[in-house]
Chains A and B, each alone.
Chain A
Amino acid sequence: EAQVTQNPRYLITVTGKKLTVTCSQNMNHEYMSWYRQDPGLGLRQIYYSMNVEVTDKGDVPEGYKVSRKEKRNFPLILESPSPNQTSLYFCASSLSTGATYEQYFGPGTRLTVT
């Protein structure tokens, strides 16, 4: 089954404790992206990757890191989480290297930083 998976689905952590949210897709998609969703603010792009070893900042990259060592995986790293990073996070992938194709979203990761 074609899908985007994220782990964990829920995470409660404390300020400053490094964490990684994994994202994997099995559709051989070139483009992958991370978003955060906050009430009243919609979806905001954090980072995106057009191919292996190619990553770029989105609209809200501060406090986040990503890597793209393999085509299927695109982990999101919070090296020192803060309470303002409490949010719902979505990973997404799409076929093309350009942002002009349907994005397939993962199920989401709800992160709480205390």
Chain B
Amino acid sequence: GENVEQHPSTLSVQEGDSAVIKCTYSDSASNYFPWYKQELGKRPQLIIDIRSNVGEKKDQRIAVTLNKTAKHFSLHITETQPEDSAVYFCAATPSNQFYFGTGTSLTVIP
């Protein structure tokens, strides 16, 4: 099956700095790559997604890039704020299944 690797596992940044989280996947059939944010004690919520026919997508301070050739995709958060502190998960979907990365715990230091 698909194998999704996510790095780093923890990330601390100063408020206002940028944060980058990277994921790689193994199955070239994967065609949808969502990113979920999970605050402490809460359920995961989608923050941005990208499909395989697009190389980059942006939504305000959040952007995702996809390199299909290299099989990797990244989440970029600019101008980080304390409320961005959470665990972030990437995922890849070959066929009808979801495969998640192991998560990145982001801490934004005020």
B-contacting residues of A (Cβ < 8 Å)? 31, 33, 35, 40-45, 48, 50, 56, 58-59, 90, 97-100, 102-103, 105-108
Contact = CB atoms under 8 A, between A and B. Distances in A.
Contacts of B102: 40-42
B24 to A, nearest CB: 14
Contacts of B99: 45, 59
B104 to A, nearest CB: 10
Interface of B: 1, 6, 31-32, 34, 43-46, 49, 51, 89, 91, 93, 95-103
Contacts of B91: 43
B44 A90 contact: yes
Contacts of A100: 31-32, 51, 93
A103 B43 CA distance: 11
B13 to A, nearest CB: 21
A103 B49 CA distance: 11
B89 A90 contact: no
Contacts of B34: 102-103
A56 B1 contact: no
A45 B97 contact: yes
Contacts of B97: 45, 48, 56, 58-59, 99
A92 to B, nearest CB: 8
B98 A42 contact: no
Contact of A42 (B43, B49, B103): B103
A25 to B, nearest CB: 13
A36 B32 CA distance: 21
Contact of B43 (A31, A58, A99, A107): A107
Contacts of A58: 97-98
B32 A105 contact: no
A102 B49 contact: yes
B36 to A, nearest CB: 8
Contact of A106 (B6, B32, B43): B43
A43 B95 CA distance: 18
B50 to A, nearest CB: 11
Contacts of B31: 100
